[in-house]
Amino acid sequence: MILVAGSANLDFVVTAPHIPAPGETVLGHRFTTYPGGKGANQAVACARAAAAPTHMLLALGQDPFAQPLEASLTEAGVQMHIVRSREHATGTAFICVSDDAENAITVAPGANQALSPADLPPLKGFSHLLMQLETPLETVTAYAAQARAAGVRVVLNAAPAQALPAALLSQLDILIVNQGELAQVADCQGSVAACLERLSTVPTVVVTLGSHGCCARTAESLLVQAAFPVTPVDTTGAGDTFCGVLVAALGRGEPLAQALRQASAAGALACTRAGAQSSIPTPAEITELLRHSQENTPERQAAVRAVCGLA
């Protein structure tokens, strides 16, 4: 089983020709609300896209915004452990999606800030704990220590990007970051390869590279996975889909290389639909893409290695 501890937000999404610059007003095309939040997105990806038994620890307010979040998690088959905050509203995110499928996101954490170190449920039966950084850093650090002590593998998606204390890094089994997050966590402005060298205390670091693919550094090797070619509609939630499917695959005991390929396929499919949780694919869709794709040719792998600054 996978335990996700993290954020749940109701996403308010406006599509527009482009993302506004500071001081600019842009007329949008469409407004929609979607269930979101990095933690909830990753939990839905574990349960729906990877069919993994999934639990989630989350905090919600006592307001109508909580209802669609609970409904989406229930529909995906996620078993919830809810901390109900009386002082904070349910978390929200305000997202602008441009016509070229890029996005800009502002989050109001709300009840997500109410998760405390004492809220972690019993860890018996869980293989992995998956967390993000939309909840208090001291809580994330405490959960990591509790999980490590219980023999549960600790996975952190270090998003939104921020510097991480050594006390947290030392508890991680797997760190998942994009290129910007990698630079901030590693305090390095060099290549992906140079940044990875500065995180040698973390056993496995996975770096997503957008339309190029991803790479993973372990103690024994460095793996690269080329991206699956798709026509993007909305990239919101694609990284969360990648994280959830990756951890679910590792929870089933699959090799890291195979888990990276499944996660990459799921993330690519998520880019072809609008919304966060609404864009997460089914196992059948992922299997179909994997069956018919030949994305990981030697030439494309070499291109990913070049992006990483690897020989």
The CATH number for 297's domain is: 3.40.1190.20
Q: What does the mean pLDDT of the chain come to?
A: 93
Asked if residue 13 belongs to a domain, the reply is: no
Contact 42, 237 (CB under 8 A): no
- Structural domain harbouring 133: 2-6+37-88+113-308
C-alpha 169/C-alpha 299 separation (Å) is 34
Count of domains for the chain: 1
Summarize pLDDT for 46-58 with one digit per residue, the tens.
999 999 999 999 9
Question: Could you list the active site residues?
Answer: 240
User: Coil, strand, or helix at residue 203?
Assistant: coil
Is 15 within the bounds of a domain? Answer: no
Q: What is the pLDDT of residues 112-155, one digit of tens each?
A: 999 999 999 999 999 999 999 999 999 999 999 999 999 999 99
Examine residue 230 and state whether it is found in any structural domain, yes or no: yes
**pTM listed for this prediction:** 0.92
Residue 237 half-sphere exposure toward CB, CA atoms < 13 A? 36
Asked, for residue 103, whether it belongs to a domain, the answer is: no
Q: pLDDT tens digits for 177-219?
A: 999 999 999 999 888 988 999 998 999 999 999 889 999 999 8
Give the Cα separation of 137 and 60 in Å (integer): 18
CB 71 within 8 A of CB 78: no
